[in-house]
Structure 1
Amino acid sequence: MFAYVAIGGGVGALARFLVSEVGNPKGSLPYGTWLANILGSLLLGGLVVLRTKHVLPESIWQLAGVGFCGAFTTFSTFGKETITLLQTNQFKEAIIYIASSLFLSISLVWMTFVLFM
């Protein structure tokens, strides 16, 4: 179990790093982190549906749900980037970043449940 989480977490962290490197150019809005959080929420919603329906083996849940999604999505970076936007007086951008991140992440998980449960 721990090995699956560790492997999935390592791959998820590396994937998030790559998405952030490409999507977060210096001085820009944090599009990469935003995209990782949105995609990770969508993926996790789908995995939860599969797990709830008992079609997802526990090992895949540990690897992909707990490990990969846990490392790919990042609330701490979201918080840090929000503070950076506020410190640089990008208030409108910070509000859009917060609202769209929360709304889309939660909506995608909910929509996945509604469509596939």
Structure 2
Amino acid sequence: MDPVTFLLVGVGAAVGAPLRYLADAAVRSRFDPVFPWATFAVNAAGSFLLGALLGAAGMLPPEIGALLGTGFCGALTTYSTFGYELVALAERRAGRTALVYLAGSAVSGIVAAAAGWTLARLVL
């Protein structure tokens, strides 16, 4: 394991995790708490950024992928919270909301990643 890459992943995560927390707090203060908008938003944003990084693959040093892809996006996005929120919606018998969240998250993540990839390819 390369210690520089390891450090870059940690630096990216040290920025991504607090940003995830701040985004969550900002979204929760503005939107209805019934739908998990904060997780939905950060997962879509992280998918866009990761798609852009993959679209720029070969044009950026691998250290950027470690810093922004693995570190920042890995800490910003959250599959565990997504899973927890789905279970919590099901426990509250909000099945329709859970299905919308599940399908919407999957579709928005894929579309955002494809948009990021396409944008990176067009720009670079």
Equivalent pairs, count: 115
Conserved? CA contact 1:23–1:30, under 8 Å: no
Give the gaps of 5 or more residues in structure 1. Answer: none
Match of 1:81 in 2: 85
Conserved? CA contact 1:5–1:66, under 8 Å: yes
Shift of 1:58: 1.6
Say which of 41, 51, 61 aligns to 1:35. Answer: 41
Q: Check if 1:19 corresponds to 2:23.
A: yes
RMSD: 1.7
Shift of 1:83: 0.6
Deviating 4+ runs (over 4 angstroms): none
Say which of 49, 60, 65 aligns to 1:61. Answer: 65
The separation in 2 between residues aligned to 1:30 and 1:76, in whole angstroms, is: 13
**Residues 27 and 49 (structure 1 numbering): CA distance in 2 closer, same or farther, change over 3 Å?**
closer
The 3-state SS of whatever aligns with 1:56 is coil
Conserved? CA contact 2:51–2:113, under 8 Å: yes
Matched letter for residue 60 of structure 1: I
Give the gaps of 5 or more residues in structure 2. Answer: none
> So what's the TM-score if we normalise by structure 1?
0.89
**Residues 27 and 112 (structure 1 numbering): CA distance in 2 closer, same or farther, change over 3 Å?**
closer
The 3-state SS of whatever aligns with 1:24 is helix
Identity over aligned pairs, percent: 36
Shift of 1:111: 3.7
Q: Check if 1:90 corresponds to 2:91.
A: no
Matched letter for residue 106 of structure 2: L
The separation in 1 between residues aligned to 2:98 and 2:26, in whole angstroms, is: 20
Q: Check if 1:44 corresponds to 2:50.
A: yes
Conserved? CA contact 1:45–1:110, under 8 Å: yes
The separation in 2 between residues aligned to 1:27 and 1:46, in whole angstroms, is: 30
